[in-house]
Structure 1
Amino acid sequence: MADRLAAFVEATAARPWDWAAENCTFWVADWGLVRWGVDFAARYRGRCRSEEDADALVGGDLVALVSPEIPLPRKGAPAEGDIGVIEFRGRQVSAIWSGSHWLIRTPRGVAMVRAQAIAIWGD
């Protein structure tokens, strides 16, 4: 798993930020497509053009928005490669568990953060 995740991060980290195609949630959904063969964000791609659009779509509760789209079991603790929603700087953001930190996509690239998960999914 570590090699697959590292390859994914390396391949995607330098992509330019784009609210419509390359944001924190779509990045995690891209990982879901690689790992599980399912695009958790298929229904939402192209619906956001700005941060305001994303905020309006999420409505402050990213977990409620993405939960119906993720056909994986919820978990109490993450394993390497699992996905989740974490609280980061006052916002809910999608993340991937590296085994020691949560990985998030930011406008500057990929960041490793320590945070409490609000929800975790995996196998």
Structure 2
Amino acid sequence: MSGDLIAFMRAMARASFVWGSCDCSLVMADWCRAKRGVDPAASLRGRYSTAAGAMRHVIRLGGFEAMGRSLMAGCGFSVTGAPRVGDVGLVTHPIVGPVFAIRCALGWAVKSPEGFAVDEYPTIVAWSV
């Protein structure tokens, strides 16, 4: 794992999980912004503060996959079938369902209230960063 990804993940692991500012979607988007200078979640920032509020946007934008594909394509990210360390994706968490994640050496890292949950979650779609 590259040094900048390690530093980013350490900082995000210490940050409190907060809907609308430090949740799985926005942490993934923060990584994209740090690496490529574009924010795929710019249109969502500050627009929700609860899980229900986040879901309203997901539903309004056609579901997790449609929302992710649209926002990522709008920022110029390309889909990859072979995600590498530092890439991002939409994965299926066995308890919460679809979540956005960052690929690290040990699997997919998902922001959680405890820091990061890391596992080989099934990939729905991934993007090269």
TM-score using structure 2 length: 0.88
**Equivalence map 1:1-123=2 (5 Å):** 2-59=2-59, 61-70=63-72, 71-88=76-93, 89-123=95-129
What SS class does the counterpart of residue 87 from structure 1 fall into?
Answer: strand
What SS class does the counterpart of residue 25 from structure 1 fall into?
Answer: helix
Residue 36 (structure 1) shift: 1.1
What SS class does the counterpart of residue 58 from structure 1 fall into?
Answer: helix
State how far apart, in whole Å, the 2-side matches of 1:87 and 1:44 are. Answer: 21
Residue 48 (structure 1) shift: 1.2
State how far apart, in whole Å, the 1-side matches of 2:102 and 2:36 are. Answer: 13
In structure 1, stretches of 5+ residues that fail to align are: none
TM-score using structure 1 length: 0.92
Residue 90 (structure 1) shift: 4.4
Count of residues in Structure 1 that have an aligned counterpart in Structure 2: 123
Q: Deviations over 1:28-52 (max 9, x none)?
A: 0000011111111000001111111
8 Å contact from structure 1 (residues 17, 107) kept in 2: yes
8 Å contact from structure 2 (residues 87, 126) kept in 1: yes
Moved over 3 A (4+): none
State how far apart, in whole Å, the 2-side matches of 1:90 and 1:19 are. Answer: 15
State how far apart, in whole Å, the 2-side matches of 1:92 and 1:37 are. Answer: 25
